[in-house]
Amino acid sequence: MTGSTPILEMRDISKTFPGVRALTNVSLTVYPGEIHALMGENGAGKSTLMKILSGAYQADPGGEIRINGQPVVIDGPLTARHHGISIIYQELSLAPNLTVAENMLLGREHKSGPMVDRRSMEKACRTVLERLGVQFKATTKVSELSMAERQLVEIARALIANSRILVMDEPTTSLSSRETEAMFALIRQLRAEGLAIIYISHRMAEIYELAERVSVLRDGSYVGTLVGDEISAERLVQMMVGRDLSSFYKKDHDAHQSRGPVMFAVRNMGDGVRVHDCSFELHEGEVLGIAGLVGAGRTELARLIYGADPRTSGEVFLQGNRLSIDEPDDAIHSGVVYLTEDRKHLGLFLDLTVRDNVNVNVLSRDSRAGGVLNMKVAKQRAAAAIRALGIRVAGDVVPVGSLSGGNQQKVLLSRLLETKPKVLILDEPTRGVDIGAKSEIYRLIDSLARNGVGVIVISSELPEVVGICDRVLVMREGRLEGEVGGAGHPPMTQENIIAIATGVREAAE
């Protein structure tokens, strides 16, 4: 890249919202044929910077954007597209009721007189789809495609618009390992064809594998850029959060030797299809992990316990008493709460405010005579939650959908904690959450356990499971196949978890 002209230069970009300084004099330089990673905590300013690049936001006066060395004014999405800029957001923006071709050329349809020329559109799109090596057709409806295939449609839409700068925001969040590898191969192909790719991800392994350079933002400011061999987890963490990687996990893994009595027990839980005859115990103040490969049945087991899905067998006991849980309300009233892995669709009310989301499960607790809600108490409760969990927000009347992923997760956790749970089931609690927010969630989990709450953590991130749990149960094909970390069981290591999860039992014995 030395000596070549940058395809993109963003110089001294600032952005102020009412009451919030989101960006302060941020600069970013990207070259053609480069995969340039952009990292930082949720709320660090990555999305704001990219929305300015895409024309969705207008920067404060004083900054400058250059494309191929020439200053440009990006005053809207159409202008950004004209300059060859495309962004693929984590939440895809496709219309599922339209075909692939209709999505790729949405707003730029081919016309034959007053009529849309679908044959011409499909022919133009077919060339791009063949270039990507996809298995579906231009005439296929997007609703019939997998998440990985929909990602490819987004990329195809950028290519047919002759984009030269492609921003990818957490593109592998919903992909399997195999789909992720295929996506990586495509990204490398696009780089070889000369595209500049700005890659946003919280996953360190992806950054190591793909990026030539990594730029880091913190608190709305540019911290620095690492190149090649300079890129390491330790340096990135220090740049992003200002502290050492070793401060993340402080779990005492000998805690099971002095753990409290059994407080929660699951017996013979199953649905006859995805979960079979699962039994386990949770001790007071314990953090119990549930690990396994994708499709092993971890989430399905949690939903059966919580009453979100019908079961064909199984009993749940809390402090020796059998619970009657037929639906989630029964679980909540019994002191068992569940944090869903899909916070956007199954957890939060994105159009409602932070205050409303924090209070939604407990508003009736403070209602006055006649069922009138006590909004003063609701406001106080939201303010206390914002302080306690360090939710970064301008005020409690901000819509939750406008917050970063980490802050959304904290709001959802706040809502659950307001119910005063005895057992907390956390399903992928740090998915899509930056490193700083992860550390805060880990501290919260540890604090809850120390105060006697039983915590169950379901996670696909093995370093997380090993780092924060007292012991780990391992699922395979809908069954609990083994345990690591507990007395009389193999040591809690990633290797032993994988050995049980894949059926290589001797490696875990």
Round to whole Å and give the CA distance between 442 and 454. 14
Helix, strand, or coil here: 86? strand
Average pLDDT over residues 125-143: 87
- Residue 66: the pLDDT is 95
* Nearest in space to 311 (alpha carbons), one of 322, 303, 319: 303
pLDDT at 7 over 90: yes
Q: What is the pLDDT of residue 256?
A: 45
Distance CA 31, CA 195 (A): 9
Average pLDDT score over the chain = 85
How far is residue 269's CA from residue 434's CA, in Å, rounded to a whole number? 34
Q: Is 222 or 362 the better-scoring residue by pLDDT?
A: 222
At 155-177, the pLDDT tens digits run 888 888 888 999 988 887 767 77
User: What pLDDT was estimated at residue 42?
Assistant: 63
Residues in the chain: 509
- pLDDT score of 301: 96
Amino acid at 490: P
The DSSP element (H or E) to which 442 belongs, if any, is helix 435-450
Question: In sequence order, what are the residues at sequence separation of 6 or more whose Cβ sits closer than 8 angstroms to the Cβ of residue 61?
Answer: none
Give the separation between CA 288 and CA 283, rounded to whole angstroms. 9
Interhelix angle for 405-417 vs 435-450, to 10°? 10
pLDDT band at residue 506 using 50, 70 and 90 as cut-offs: very low
Sign of torsion over alpha carbons 196, 164, 169, 5: positive
For residue range 242-261, list pLDDT tens digits in order.
Answer: 655 555 665 655 544 456 89
Other beta carbons less than 10 A from residue 253's beta carbon = 15
Is residue 28 a contact partner of residue 215, using CB atoms and an 8 Å limit? yes
Please, what sign has the CA dihedral across residues 210, 214, 218, 222?
A: negative
Residue 417 has pLDDT above 50, yes or no: yes
Q: Is the pLDDT of residue 475 over 70?
A: yes
Count Cβ atoms within 10 A of the Cβ of residue 256 and give its class: 0-12 exposed, 13-18 middle, 19 or more buried.
Answer: middle
Strand partners, 292: 475
φ, ψ for residue 223 (rounded to 5)? -95, -45
Task: Set out the domains of the chain in order of their start, with CATH numbers.
Answer: 8-244 (3.40.50.300), 248-335+422-431+454-509 (3.40.50.300)
Strand partners, 70: 67
Best-predicted range by mean pLDDT (40-44, 135-139, 388-392)? 135-139
The tens digit of pLDDT for each residue in 292-329 reads: 877 789 999 999 999 999 999 999 999 999 999 999 99
Confidence of residue 93 (pLDDT cuts 50, 70, 90): confident
- Asked if the model's pLDDT at residue 285 lies above 80, the reply is yes
User: SS3 sequence, 23-65?
Assistant: EEEEEEEECCCCEEEEECCCCCCHHHHHHHHHCCCCCCCCCEE
Alpha-helix residue ranges (DSSP H) falling in 133-216: 147-160, 177-192, 204-210
**Local confidence band at 472 (pLDDT 50, 70, 90 cut-offs):** very high
Mean pLDDT of 4-23: 88
